[in-house]
C-alpha cells in the first residue's frame, strides 16, 4: 500500500492530518479531514445498520451507545463495506450488550 494511503487512514482514525490535503472550496486540511471522518463513520454505521435491522430494532435506544463504544475501540477498516458488518458482529458477540 502506498504511503499516502497509510497517512490518510491514520488521519481518519484521529492521527495527524497531512497539510498537503486539499479540502473542497475554502476548507483547510483539518476541516476537510473532519468531514472525511464523519463520512467514513456514517458509511460504516450505515453498512452495519442495513445488515442487522432486526438487531437495531431489538436494541432500540441502546444502539447508539453500543455503536459509539464499538467505534471508539475499533481500528479495523476493511476496504469494502461488505466486510465491515462482520467486524461489528465479532465485537457484538463478545460484548456485554443485550442479546
- Express each pLDDT in 29-87 by its tens digit: 888 888 888 888 899 999 999 999 999 999 999 999 999 999 998 877 777 788 889 99
The answer to whether residues 29 and 21 touch, using CB atoms and an 8 Å cutoff, is yes
What does residue 26 show for φ and ψ, rounded to 5 degrees?
-100, 10
How would residue 7 be classed by pLDDT, with cut points 50, 70 and 90?
confident
Amino acid at each position: 500500500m502506498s504511503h499516502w494511503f497509510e497517512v490518510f487512514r491514520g488521519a481518519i482514525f484521529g492521527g495527524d492530518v497531512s497539510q498537503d490535503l486539499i479540502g473542497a472550496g475554502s476548507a483547510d486540511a483539518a476541516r476537510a479531514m473532519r468531514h472525511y471522518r464523519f463520512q467514513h463513520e456514517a458509511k460504516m454505521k450505515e453498512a452495519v445498520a442495513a445488515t442487522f435491522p432486526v438487531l437495531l430494532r431489538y436494541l432500540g435506544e441502546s444502539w447508539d451507545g453500543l455503536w459509539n463504544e464499538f467505534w471508539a475501540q475499533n481500528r479495523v477498516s476493511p476496504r469494502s463495506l461488505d466486510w465491515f458488518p462482520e467486524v461489528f458482529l465479532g465485537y457484538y458477540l463478545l460484548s456485554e450488550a443485550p442479546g
